Amino acid sequence: MSKMVNRLGLAVAATLSATSAFAHTGVGAVHGFTAGLSHPLFGLDHLTAMVAVGLWAGLAGGKARFAYPAAFVGTMVLAGLWGMSGYPLPGVEIGIGLSVVALGLAIAFNVALPLAAGTALCALFAIFHGYAHGAELPENAGALSYAAGFVLATAALHGVGLVLASLIASHAPRLARFAGAAMALAGVAFLAG
């Protein structure tokens, strides 16, 4: 178990070392699936929110373990189509930053919402993340393969959060408060930047 925790920690640290600039400048891979896959992984704002959804879902337990990530991914796909369409959505970056703050605070304070409310909140936050993913579709990328990439990356990051939740719940329950507070502070930094 210790070896798994060390590997997971190393993977998370390597992922978190990416800068947020990659997700919003078109830097990096520019072809379909790879571009979509890299967008959530190399944007610290997206990465933090998506891990937070999984972590919050895992800590909430029960049906939330499936409902929160499923609502996020499903809504994100629809919002990604909106972003690809070119129709504007004001306040996208503010919505992304606020989602990180709110999810971090929900984790830090162990907020237990009714399933429908928590699911709706995750879906609301997914609108901003999905729109950003879709709006930044590289010019020469296929929309379908690009969307498949960002959906897979998002689901994987939710999975990382779910795994972290089960590790935290069984080995270090206070770590959830710390992780949530760190995520909320990161969200404040995204909003200030």
In this predicted structure, the answer to whether residue 177 has a pLDDT above a threshold of 90 is yes
User: What is the band of 12 on the pLDDT scale with cuts at 50, 70, 90?
Assistant: very low
Number of folded domains that form the chain: 1
The boundaries of the domain holding residue 60 are 2-192
Residue-averaged pLDDT of the chain = 86
- The whole-angstrom separation of Cα 128 and Cα 111 is 22
- The whole-angstrom separation of Cα 96 and Cα 156 is 19
pLDDT, tens digit (0-9, with 9 covering 90-100), for 116-135: 999 999 999 999 999 999 99
Q: What is the pTM of this model?
A: 0.84
Structure tokens at 126: 């997914």
- The whole-angstrom separation of Cα 4 and Cα 19 is 26
In this predicted structure, the answer to whether residue 51 has a pLDDT above a threshold of 90 is yes
User: What is the band of 180 on the pLDDT scale with cuts at 50, 70, 90?
Assistant: very high
- The whole-angstrom separation of Cα 150 and Cα 183 is 21
In this predicted structure, the answer to whether residue 79 has a pLDDT above a threshold of 70 is yes
In this predicted structure, the answer to whether residue 27 has a pLDDT above a threshold of 60 is no
